[in-house]
Structure 1
Amino acid sequence: MVVEKKRSPVGAAVLRDDITVAIRGAVVAELAEVGYGRLSIEAVARRAGVSKAAVYRRWRSKLDLVLDLVSATAGRNLPLLDTGSLLGDLELLLQVMARALQHRMALQIIPDLLAEAARTPQIAEKLHQTLEDYQRTIGLVVIGRAVERGELSAATDQRLAVDLIVGPIYWRLAITRTPLGTAEVRRAAEMIVAALQVAGAGPDAPEAEV
């Protein structure tokens, strides 16, 4: 069992990063195994090999713990997108998304959290905020850079563009749960680029070859 050092009598306790990582990993495993409703601090502490006090030093409740995990995970999973082209950036982004969404734990955790969000306003708000931040980041990085390179019109609606990018992948992997191969990821990226370029060119633009 991993045990934190005793709190120093002077000043605040220093929280060890390795214990924080262990607790977050335990939360992910517990969510995948029992879901949010049956998740408990006791089980998380036991799986992480720490005391309950170690968990409560970091988070006040299981809700705070899960909300923090959602934010940390979303922020960590966005790759450094700078391949030199919109097609390359999109293909890399879709590959990362596909790997994440096809992971066994993601397939179990995401539907559970979405269902819980319908019952718990705090989770709904955090998920909404996290997804908004994620969408804004993708828009600035992928669409913004494509506009700077002249691949997309400056009038491109970043919000709708990101919906077009992530929506089909999420539908395919998280809703219908149909596997997505490497060749299909490339094809999806090509189709999205074509759609964005036609949309940005205006209503009189010719159809793009795909």
Structure 2
Amino acid sequence: MERKSIDEPRRRKPSGAAVIRADLTEALFRALFEEWADTGYAAISLERVAARAGAGKAAIYRRWPSKRDFACDAIASVGVGLGEFSDHGSLAADIAAYLQKTRRVLRHPLVRRIVPDLVAERIRSEDLAKVLGHLATARRALGETLLDRAIARGELDAGIDRELALDFIPSPLYWRMVVRGKPVSTADLSRQSTALVAALKAC
């Protein structure tokens, strides 16, 4: 068998820098949201995002070909989990849990600053509109399970207007916290929950 000369160059192993690290991806998402909160979507600088994450700009382009793709993946990575749709034993308890979890999310300083800008960008950007549409579809599917449970318990009529019901559930909390910028107390959540249960029974 022919032996290689000791002078023959050895083949280099792939550098670890080329590996897509999950921890760096998460750091880039976090840095993107921080930059977005500070500047708005239109003024996001990928160089600044990379610097916030302690990386080079190449780390972004190894993962995403554009700012839009980056933003869409970042939104998708957190969007469906924003809310609470698990079974708490009754429609009133399910709605209360949903409102409590959503209030915690909307209280986050980054979320509070990004969400209004995101709504505006949905109108301007077809790409963001698509990912937000997919996200809304996924979240509404989870909301459907909440309605299905209430119907199975006999708390809601099987003929409920589901589209109207799913529009109702987040609306009072979103309007007060995001549109009006007002705080929501525990007592406010209780009143909203009671009102929503009554509204859903009337749908």
- TM-score when normalising by structure 2: 0.87
What SS class does the counterpart of residue 194 from structure 1 fall into? helix
Stretches of structure 2 that go unaligned for 5 or more consecutive residues are: 1-11
Name the counterpart of 2:63.
58
CA distance, structure 1, for counterparts of residue 180 and residue 58 of structure 2: 41
Partner of 2:76: 71
2:168 and 2:13 mapped to 1: Cα distance? 52
Could you tell me how far apart the structure 2 residues matched to 1:160 and 1:8 are? 58
Which amino acid is the alignment partner of residue 109 of structure 1? I
Matches for 1:1-210 after TM superposition, within 5 Å: 9=14, 14-79=19-84, 81-139=86-144, 141-199=145-203
Cα distance in structure 1, aligned partners of 2:14 and 2:27 = 26
* Distance (whole Å) between structure 2 residues aligned to residue 75 and residue 22 of structure 1: 19
Note the alpha carbon deviations across 1:90-120, whole angstroms, 9 max, x for none: 0010111112122221221111122222221
Stretches of structure 1 that go unaligned for 5 or more consecutive residues are 1-6, 200-210
The answer to whether the 8 Å contact 1:152/1:196 transfers is yes
User: C-alpha offsets along residues 119-166 of structure 1, whole Å, 9 cap, x if unaligned?
Assistant: 211112222221222122212x21111111111111112221111111
Q: Partner amino acid for 1:23?
A: L
What is the CA–CA distance in structure 2 between the aligned matches of 1:185 and 1:168, rounded to whole Å? 10
Partner amino acid, structure 2, of 1:133: A
Paired with 2:194 and 2:59, the residues of 1 have a C-alpha distance of 48
- The AA in structure 1 aligned to 2:134 is Q
Provide the rounded CA distance (Å) in 2 between the counterparts of 1:175 and 1:24. Answer: 25
Identity %: 39
- Give the letter aligned to residue 123 of structure 2: A
> Which amino acid in 1 is paired with 2:180?
T
Structure 1 residue 9: Cα displacement: 3.8
Would you say the 8 A contact 2:85–2:142 is kept in 1? no
Displacement, 1:79? 2.9
Alignment length (residue pairs): 190
- Cα distance change, pair 8–194 in 1 and its aligned pair in 2 (3 A): farther
2:85–2:146 Cα contact (<8 Å) kept: no
Deviation string, structure 1 residues 26-47 (Cα, Å, up to 9, x no partner): 0110000111111122111100
Check the 8 A contact 1:136/1:159 in 2, yes or no. no
Q: What is the RMSD of the two structures over their aligned residues, measured on CA atoms?
A: 1.8
Please give the alpha-carbon distance, in whole angstroms, between the structure 1 residues aligned to 2:92 and 2:85. 14
Contact 1:67 1:126 in 2 (8 A): yes
